[in-house]
Structure 1
Amino acid sequence: MADALEKNPRIDPAIDATGETHDAENKDKPRDSKGWDGKLRVEKNVLVNGRDQDADSDAEDVSEDEGPPPEQLPADEDLLEDYPEDEEEIELVHLRISDMAALRLERFKKLKRLGLRQNQITSVELPDDIAPQLQDLDFYDNLISHVKGFDACSELVLLDLSFNKIKHIKRINHLTKLKDLFFVQNKISTIEGLEGLTNLRQVELGANRIREIQNLETLTGLEQLWLGKNKITELKGLDTLTNLKILSIQSNRLTSLAGLSGLKNLEELYISYNAIKEISHLEENTNLHVIDVSSNPIQHLQGLENLKHLQEFWASNCQLSDFNEVEKQLGDKEELETVYFEGNPLQKSQPVLYRNKVRLALPKIKQIDATYL
């Protein structure tokens, strides 16, 4: 876990794999970002038996109360008056900006990064003078419904459109230098419009309405794919992603792990909060370092035999009950340092003896649940 924290600063060290904090003051915090998505954190109370409470609702286009129209930025207010015209990075967060034209961005001839998080922007308007030089655009948490306005952004490397109202991925497949693309918490039902983006390294589509993994075949350089909190029932369409290192697909409707055999370089697999009953079909994924199967109805640990490089195994709130099985299946993992078994029958039946029994079964372990040894 220590290594994971260093690699991913978004993980909250106060929260363990079950989402429980070990600090009374922090008990209402969301579970850690490994829970299902790299950016977005899901509250425990929105999940029921591994599925989101509204997952069965197909009324996906119900009209929403949009509330009052966004407050317009006064024309005589210059939010950027203190920025030098050779500024390369501009960050304007939570300022109720709705009209990008009022920012007069055309004066910043060297601008490379523009962050407009938590505003009220409905339409992306970038001056032609600066669009070709922009490398990083962040529109996280706005009111954008349509993906447009990026035609001239030929140098764009990162685009974040998370927490908006987007239903369709369109008009970005010309952005061939993109490496990081974020569409977390939108209204997307189909993975589309990404063909040709061969430089993509990370795609985040968590908390949408996706039912099928598709149209990713050309993204052969992809290293991270985040699909948590959707409605996916089957692992498919992944065979060509041979460089994939991280797959996060928590809080979906999976019943099997079949479909991962082509991912020889996969290092981290996050599949908590699904309906998986057994760990299987991982024989070819011999480079796996981290597996999170928490909150699945798994009763036995068979299926880990080939995973010699396993470092972290998270299996909180499953149905594991046999310490002999823990020893048999995990005892030969020389690199294993962290295990999570909290919430299983083997912990609940003998809570006082639980940690000692895990240590006896796995004497080289360095961390049991949230406790370092």
Structure 2
Amino acid sequence: MSEENAAPRSELDPAASDANGTTETRDQDKDDHKPRDSKGWDGKLRVEKLSLSDEPRDPTVEIQSDAEVSEDEGPPPEQIQADEDLLDDTPEDEDEIELVHCKISDMASLRLERFKQIKRLCLRQNRIEAIEVPAVSAATLTEIDLYDNLIAHIKGLDAFTELTSLDLSFNKIKHIKRLNHLKKLKDLYFVQNKISTIENLEGLTNLRQIELGANRVREITGLDTLTGLEELWLGKNKISEIKGLTTLTNLKILSIQSNRLRTISGLDALVNLEELHISHNLLTEVSGLEHNTNLQVIDISANPIEHLTGLNGLTHLTEFWASNCKLSSFQEVEKELRDKEELETVYFEGNPLQRAQPALYRNKVRLALPQIVQIDATFVKKV
């Protein structure tokens, strides 16, 4: 999918999909998680779309911290009437309960204990402040989705040891607590909260992915015991160094876009890494990937990188994203990428090598990299 054809969606407005009267399904969300293009997806997070006039950040400039947002949340949320039963027409043997954008503030009013076979509970885009799921549901419930509510504290999950998926994205959570008893948890989502420290995740050995995009994390910590982790999403935080990942040898996807990184480091042990999304940082070169020989996808877009280096040995690359950097040499492109026989897609739009001679740009890329099938948003016509 091209940047030009991408449907806009605000990273700070999780309800944007409802503006047209539609609601995304869980399957669609899962498909959208993968940042397969230069739009910069990080799970449910999207970094700002680049235009060709955008420039990478100056790596010599000191980064200032943003002012903290006021905690004043305004008037209390509107509540549904106590005698309104939103689930009145739902069969009691239903195993999936989904109530999206219904102004629910009190989970107890839903009387969920009626549903003895409930496996999935989705209460997205409501006004829930406290997690109140009846303990009687603990034996069957495997997925809780409370994306976009008003939850500030993680409580009420002591009995729910069968959970495999928990989504608390777009809430008001500051601290990760009271979760390490959920031994079967595989997917954990905390996008767009107020978390500054990754903590209290010890024992979640079955965790497959954790999403922490758009929080306040400054340092990668607390992940040492998550040895089964395959996907780590840390976009739009305040991280200045990649570290604390040595034990995560099963990691396949690392997304650390829109942070404060000046170098690529701390990846030597990640021998199974397949995707590295590190756009919108302060990198001036590509290096530190000597041990990551299984990499298939690299996104270094919107970094002040002037020279293409550090890709030796990455013979399995299929996609290389480098839009809006400062690359000017087709000779470097050919030197670094021509021997990558599995390479299919490259993005170089917005670089000096594209801006200097836009009419000749595509032909020059084709001559340098005859194996590719897509340049930027357009497929290559084979002659």
Give the TM-score, by structure 1 length: 0.90
Q: Deviations over 1:122-178 (max 9, x none)?
A: 000011111232100000000000011100001000000000000000000000100
- In the alignment, what sits opposite 1:188? 195
Offset at residue 29 of structure 1 (A): 5.2
User: Contact between 1:264 and 1:286, CA under 8 Å: does it hold in 2?
Assistant: yes
- In the alignment, what sits opposite 1:175? 182
Alignment of 1:225 with 2:246, yes or no, is no
Q: 1:109 to 1:48 in 2, by over 3 A?
A: farther
- In the alignment, what sits opposite 1:39? 44
Q: Secondary structure at the match of 2:45?
A: coil
Q: Secondary structure at the match of 2:362?
A: helix
Alignment of 1:291 with 2:298, yes or no, is yes
Offset at residue 49 of structure 1 (A): 4.4
Q: Deviations over 1:215-246 (max 9, x none)?
A: 10000000000000000000000010000000
Out of 265, 288, 309, which is 2:272 matched to? 265
Give the whole-Å Cα distance in 1 for the aligned partners of 2:55 and 2:147.
Answer: 28
Give the whole-Å Cα distance in 2 for the aligned partners of 1:48 and 1:346.
Answer: 14
- In the alignment, what sits opposite 2:212? 205
Alignment of 1:372 with 2:379, yes or no, is yes
Give the whole-Å Cα distance in 2 for the aligned partners of 1:57 and 1:282.
Answer: 29
Structure 1: runs of 5 or more not aligned: 1-12
- In the alignment, what sits opposite 2:23? none
User: Contact between 1:243 and 1:265, CA under 8 Å: does it hold in 2?
Assistant: yes
Out of 95, 116, 119, which is 2:102 matched to? 95
User: Contact between 1:190 and 1:210, CA under 8 Å: does it hold in 2?
Assistant: yes
Alignment of 1:114 with 2:114, yes or no, is no
Aligned residue pairs, count: 348
Alignment of 1:57 with 2:62, yes or no, is no
Q: Deviations over 1:41-92 (max 9, x none)?
A: 23348x98459xxx733543x5333122111121111100111111100110
Q: Secondary structure at the match of 1:123?
A: coil
- In the alignment, what sits opposite 1:350? 357
Q: Secondary structure at the match of 1:339?
A: strand
User: Contact between 1:36 and 1:249, CA under 8 Å: does it hold in 2?
Assistant: no
Give the whole-Å Cα distance in 1 for the aligned partners of 2:168 and 2:348.
Answer: 36
Q: Secondary structure at the match of 2:293?
A: coil
Q: Secondary structure at the match of 1:353?
A: helix
User: Contact between 1:347 and 1:354, CA under 8 Å: does it hold in 2?
Assistant: yes
User: Contact between 1:50 and 1:272, CA under 8 Å: does it hold in 2?
Assistant: no
Kindly provide the amino acid, as one letter, of the partner of residue 355 in structure 1: R
Alignment of 1:78 with 2:85, yes or no, is yes
Give the whole-Å Cα distance in 2 for the aligned partners of 1:338 and 1:30.
Answer: 27
Q: 1:367 to 1:56 in 2, by over 3 A?
A: same
Kindly provide the amino acid, as one letter, of the partner of residue 176 in structure 2: I
User: Contact between 1:36 and 1:270, CA under 8 Å: does it hold in 2?
Assistant: no
User: Contact between 2:279 and 2:300, CA under 8 Å: does it hold in 1?
Assistant: yes
Offset at residue 258 of structure 1 (A): 1.1
Alignment of 1:325 with 2:317, yes or no, is no
User: Contact between 1:219 and 1:241, CA under 8 Å: does it hold in 2?
Assistant: yes
Give the whole-Å Cα distance in 1 for the aligned partners of 2:295 and 2:77.
Answer: 47
Q: Quote the sequence identity (%).
A: 71
Kindly provide the amino acid, as one letter, of the partner of residue 241 in structure 2: E
Q: 1:340 to 1:58 in 2, by over 3 A?
A: closer
- In the alignment, what sits opposite 1:3? none
Q: Secondary structure at the match of 1:82?
A: coil
Give the alignment's Cα RMSD to 1 decimal: 1.8
Offset at residue 299 of structure 1 (A): 1.1
Alignment of 1:160 with 2:167, yes or no, is yes
Offset at residue 36 of structure 1 (A): 4.7
Give the whole-Å Cα distance in 2 for the aligned partners of 1:155 and 1:86.
Answer: 19
User: Contact between 1:180 and 1:200, CA under 8 Å: does it hold in 2?
Assistant: yes
Kindly provide the amino acid, as one letter, of the partner of residue 64 in structure 2: D
Q: Deviations over 1:182-206 (max 9, x none)?
A: 0000000000010110000000000
User: Contact between 2:135 and 2:160, CA under 8 Å: does it hold in 1?
Assistant: no
Kindly provide the amino acid, as one letter, of the partner of residue 40 in structure 1: L
Out of 271, 293, 301, which is 2:308 matched to? 301
Give the whole-Å Cα distance in 1 for the aligned partners of 2:355 and 2:70.
Answer: 45
Give the TM-score, by structure 2 length: 0.88
- In the alignment, what sits opposite 1:150? 157
User: Contact between 2:261 and 2:282, CA under 8 Å: does it hold in 1?
Assistant: yes
Structure 2: runs of 5 or more not aligned: 12-31
